[in-house]
Structure 1
Amino acid sequence: MKKLLVPTDFSEQAENALKVAAQLAKKHDCEIYLLHILEMPLHKVDALNSYSDLPEAVFFMKLAHRKFEAIKSKDYLDGLVVHETVDFHEIFKGIFHVCKKHDIDLIIMGSNGISGLREMLIGSNTEKVVRTSETPVLVVKNEHKTFKVKDFVFASDFKEESKSTYKKAIKFANVLDAKMHLLMVNTPNKFITSQDANKRMQDFATSSTFSNYTINFYNDMSIEKGIMNFSQSIKADLIGMSTHGRQGISHFFNGSISEDLVNHAKRPVITFKI
């Protein structure tokens, strides 16, 4: 883990993410890429012309640069390599572009969560990134003066398709020197016997040499509630999940537990794309 991307709108939530990134960067000798997206109505602009020819673009880029300079002068970034980037895209497309260009290892985003009708109709920018990103996404809700992960809950259905994300989670747990708690949640609508659940989780656990883990089977009314309640019961520092990256009508009907957790969980959440 050497390159961290922190998208920012210069809000308090974005700075909370940057503070976490700074702690990880200092501990693991990482570079930070600080990204600000300008979602401007550029659809009427001739694609052959430079954005720099637009007075509005010039103004907002200069404004962003001043804000970057103010952030980069913060004490918690002392001694770190911080790159600033301004891009003109939809947020999740801009993040995808920067990740590919700079080979980003981890995206760290701030979020205050959303609820109700707005969540159902449009979702949050963080949710869109979680849904589409090929790069792992760490979502931070609150300020962490000391970001240390001792107990890391990895929730899954432990089917074969999730093994690739389990390997990514193991890699992250090793970097953080964290204990991983493998968790399957049993619900009335998706009932599974303890014997079958244990067999699936044991199969995952023995598929690698990683040994710092526990196996847990938890009953609750929904998977989301089960993950949050179990995490609370052990005072977990981080929740990890796979995301399928569903789009369009499939996402609307099926939803995504990982995106719900990003919106509703009080703890940091990291997602890994299947």
Structure 2
Amino acid sequence: MKTILFPTDFSAQSQQALPIAAQLAKLFNARLDLVHVQSPPLATGWTPVPTLEAASANADRLTETITAGFEQLRQLPCLQGVVVKTHLVEGTDVTEVLTQPTFAGAGLIVMSSSGAGGLKETLLGSNAEKLIRHARIPVLVLKNPQHYLDLRSVVFASDFTDVYDASMHFVHELLDGYDFPQLHLLYVNTLGRFTASHETQPRMEAFVQRYHLGVTSMTELNELEVEPGILRFAQTHQADLVVLGTHGRQGLRHLLQGSIAEDIANHAGMAVLTLPLQTEPVPMVLF
């Protein structure tokens, strides 16, 4: 991984995740790109049209404010020794960063979530959820983060029929960087989508083999709903990170339906990593 993206609106909430973004940049020897998306000013019904000179002056002041915000971030102790680049992206939506050729080589997005409302009241409001939904690279969401991310227990929740080939290299990098934390594979079985154990166990075993995960625990959990099942399991196993897959704007298939990944990122007390998925089915049996 060569580049980590860190969207910021310069608020205290968005800065909470910066020390961990810097930690990961050092761990992966990656550049940290600080990105601010600035919406163009909106004209209101009775606002007089500004003169060209006034509009230019307003734009200059805004640019100066953003430049000062970036400079304040650069001076933070956590960024010392990190290669940092700053970017101002014009647009009405934070997902603009996903379409910029400048960021085509990025390998991870790091963002902050805090407060009882989770993503709804954080970084860029509902835009944080949009990044989870639309990003084609891993997204790490940190809720009330400490200054250092210590991974000792990781829960990987899935139905194990999806393909993670595009992002599993990053997962291996992450696990290697933290000296192989304990990895728990979790399948949550519900009444609405029940799968017998003689099917789920081969799926999980094939998943371990396909992605060379080594020694892991494999758990099939019976719950009424997926989200609380994952959260309870993660809390019981003192997980430092929950890993989930997402199919993007089509939502999540199979085990993780609808906005489950976003809801878990919203409600989890620990870090949540979402991974973009492919649709090729994983073999159900080992050969």
Query: Would you say the 8 A contact 1:156–1:162 is kept in 2?
Result: no
| Equivalent position of 1:231 in the other structure | 234
Give the Cα–Cα distance (whole angstroms) in 2 for the partners of residues 165 and 218 of structure 1.
27
Structure 2 CA distance for partners of 1:42 and 1:63, relative to 1, 3 Å? same
Greater mean alpha carbon deviation, residues 260-269 or residues 176-185: 176-185
TM-score (norm 2): 0.81
Query: Would you say the 8 A contact 1:134–1:273 is kept in 2?
Result: yes
Give the Cα–Cα distance (whole angstroms) in 1 for the partners of residues 2 and 110 of structure 2.
13
Structure 2 CA distance for partners of 1:170 and 1:226, relative to 1, 3 Å? farther
Structure 2 CA distance for partners of 1:10 and 1:84, relative to 1, 3 Å? same
Query: Would you say the 8 A contact 1:162–1:242 is kept in 2?
Result: no
Letter in 2 for 1:240: V
| Equivalent position of 2:159 in the other structure | 157
Shift, 1:264, TM fit: 1.4
Shift, 1:130, TM fit: 0.5
What secondary structure sits across from 2:165 in the alignment? helix
Give the Cα–Cα distance (whole angstroms) in 2 for the partners of residues 163 and 171 of structure 1.
14
| Equivalent position of 1:136 in the other structure | 138
Shift, 1:163, TM fit: 4.0
**Quick check: 1:206 aligned with 2:224?**
no
| Equivalent position of 1:17 in the other structure | 17
Give the Cα–Cα distance (whole angstroms) in 2 for the partners of residues 240 and 10 of structure 1.
27
| Equivalent position of 1:245 in the other structure | 248
Query: Would you say the 8 A contact 1:173–1:179 is kept in 2?
Result: no
Is the helix fraction higher in 1 or 2? 1
Structure 1's unaligned 5+ residue stretches are 44-52
Letter in 2 for 1:194: S
Query: Would you say the 8 A contact 1:35–1:84 is kept in 2?
Result: yes
| Equivalent position of 2:114 in the other structure | 112
| Equivalent position of 2:149 in the other structure | 147
TM-score (norm 1): 0.84
Deviation by residue 1:199-244 (Cα, 9 ceiling, x = unmatched): 2111111213220421111122211111111000100010111101
What secondary structure sits across from 1:199 in the alignment? helix
Count of residue correspondences: 259
Structure 2 CA distance for partners of 1:42 and 1:236, relative to 1, 3 Å? same
Shift, 1:102, TM fit: 5.0
Structure 2's unaligned 5+ residue stretches are 44-54, 278-287
Give the Cα–Cα distance (whole angstroms) in 1 for the partners of residues 185 and 166 of structure 2.
13
What secondary structure sits across from 2:163 in the alignment? helix
Greater mean alpha carbon deviation, residues 183-192 or residues 223-232: 183-192
Structure 2 CA distance for partners of 1:166 and 1:27, relative to 1, 3 Å? closer
Letter in 2 for 1:229: R
**Quick check: 1:125 aligned with 2:127?**
yes
Shift, 1:42, TM fit: 6.6
